[in-house]
A = this chain, B = another copy of it.
Amino acid sequence: MSAWTGAGRRIAGRRIAGRRIHIQEVGLRDGLQAECRFVPTADKIALADLLSGAGLAKLEVSSFVSPKAVPVLADAADVFAGIARAPGVVYSALVPNVRGAERAVAAGVGEMNLVMSASESHNLSNLRMTRAQSFAGLADVAALARRHGIAVNVSLSCSFGCPMEGDVPQQDVMDWCARFVDELGVQGITLCDTTGMAYPTQVHALTEAVRARWPGIELTLHFHNTRGMGLANVLAAIDAGADRFDASLGGIGGCPYAPGATGNVCTEEVVHALQLMGYDTGVDLARLLQAAVRLQDLVGHDVPSQIVKAGRRLDLHPRPAA
């Protein structure tokens, strides 16, 4: 018996049919950050409300980085002020430092998402700091969040490989997770495949190791489809017990190391596939697709989403005339 036998069966003690998988939307932050065009604040708010209405478990709404560094997300506070807060939905934001954290607290974020890289070269390149410097700064952010009773998630970039260093040893990833969980007491860890280097057997092994060591931690997997392995990696992680995934509406959110390649795994593709397999995503796919079509207008170009182009599996075509 294997993980693929679908509806109504159990695999190695795990339920497939009806098993809940939480889909967390990162398009508003990770996606829009990669766009050149500034999406007007009112449109961001409307899109966020469409997404929460479609049943997504968590939205990364924006980023409290310097508005000068990322002008397309300079309206983070206004977006938070405008969105409807749907019951049960977590509204998260990326927070790089204490100044950002103070703005995030004022905006009423439900969770702070802290980012650093498991790879020294990528951290230096992306954040202009050593990992040790990043960790020290994020410790201050986590302390501030704790004082305000706000949950903290850490996104560990390059957990499955670094575009400059290559393989990142699993032990390095585990060691950084340990520092965040055991020293800082964060509530969640996201293992990020920042540049699309993850592959299914590797994903299974790391997911299993992290879950076994920290069963109480909310574990998220964040995949990019850069080399076409996004969905396969999601399924490998589910098979290892994971139940939370970041995904980006339309599949937006590219990678600076792979111009022209697709970005984050596409929310509607992941939801479409998981629902067909019998998983419960809690998402209304029809409403999600309305949001994806709207997103195309907002960003002003086609999005990578195959579901936007091809429709759902059972969106049928007319039969030939008899």
Interface set of A (CB-CB < 8 Å, partner B): 1-7, 11-12, 16, 121, 124-125, 161, 163-167, 196-197, 199-205, 225-232, 235-236, 239-240, 255, 257-262, 266, 269, 272-273, 276-278, 302, 306-307, 309-314, 316-320
Contacts and interface: CB of A to CB of B under 8 A. Distances in A.
A318 B201 contact: no
B201 A276 contact: yes
A199 to B, nearest CB: 4
A4 B273 CA distance: 19
Contact of A273 (B11, B205, B232): B232
Contacts of A266: 228
Contact of A6 (B1, B7, B204, B229): B204
A3 B205 CA distance: 11
A142 to B, nearest CB: 27
Q: Is the interface of A mostly helix, strand, loop or mixed?
A: loop
Among A196, A236, A262, find the residue whose CB has the most chain B CB atoms closer than 10 A. A236
A164 B316 contact: yes
Nearest to A14: B2
Contact of A196 (B6, B163, B258, B310): B310
Nearest to A126: B320
Given A276-B201, A277-B201, A307 B2 contact: no
Contact of A200 (B4, B313, B316): B4
B319 A121 contact: yes
Contact of A319 (B164, B227, B278): B164
A97 to B, nearest CB: 20
A38 to B, nearest CB: 26
